[in-house]
Chain A
């Protein structure tokens, strides 16, 4: 199994709450990614990072923000959650070579009431 961890696995919260989804990897990977996935659907990239202090927005616009203060940690934050944010969020990392695979966490399934 890959050494990349996401918490919480499941979260149900009310509208307007601030939430942070945690993602940590112990593989020393420089590149990390956040994907959003609706159940049974394709993955859409919302944020990525080349390394410490580097963050970029992905292909799908998102109201969430990310930070990368440490190599191993790449948290995602929603300042004010809304029902439209209900989805699964997948964190991934890679060594960075072209043929290097992405390692995925188990995902955080968020439900906003």
Chain B
């Protein structure tokens, strides 16, 4: 079974600075997809960024980018120019390329933005 590990329960960063959230995963599959989701307090979980395992190029969405190291099974999220609205729980997630397309989530990292 696939597992996802986020080793940082909490992180904090100064507004306008850059922060990196770590994620590692374990799988024997070659076809899979990785995601970062954001869960603001008492609000809906939303997708931040996704990465297809077959793509070597790291995904980027505005201030959010990933560092995808397939051999190391690492998938970190970098947030540049942090804003107060970035404060939330961030979850790394894995989805197999076949089957039920279920998401397997990591434990989450609570990100605090200091003004």
Chain B's closest residue to A50 (CB) is B100
Pick out which of these stretches binds chain B: A15-23, A62-70, A73-81, A94-102. A94-102
Interface residues on B, range: 20 to 34
Known: A1-B44, A98-B33. A43 touches B100 (CB 8 A): no
Q: Which one of A42, A45, A105 lies within 8 Å of B102 (CB-CB)? A: A45
B52 touches A42 (CB 8 A): no
Q: How far is the CA of A31 from the CA of B103 in the complex (A)?
A: 12
Residues of A within 8 A of B43 (CB): 106
Nearest Cβ distance between residue B26 and chain A, in whole angstroms? 15
Can you name 12 extra interface pairs (CB under 8 A) apart from A33-B103, A59-B102?
A42-B105, A42-B107, A43-B91, A43-B103, A44-B105, A48-B100, A56-B100, A59-B1, A94-B101, A96-B101, A98-B52, A102-B37
15 contacts between A and B (CB under 8 A): A2-B44, A33-B102, A35-B105, A40-B89, A41-B108, A42-B107, A42-B108, A43-B103, A45-B102, A56-B100, A59-B104, A92-B45, A98-B95, A99-B33, A107-B44
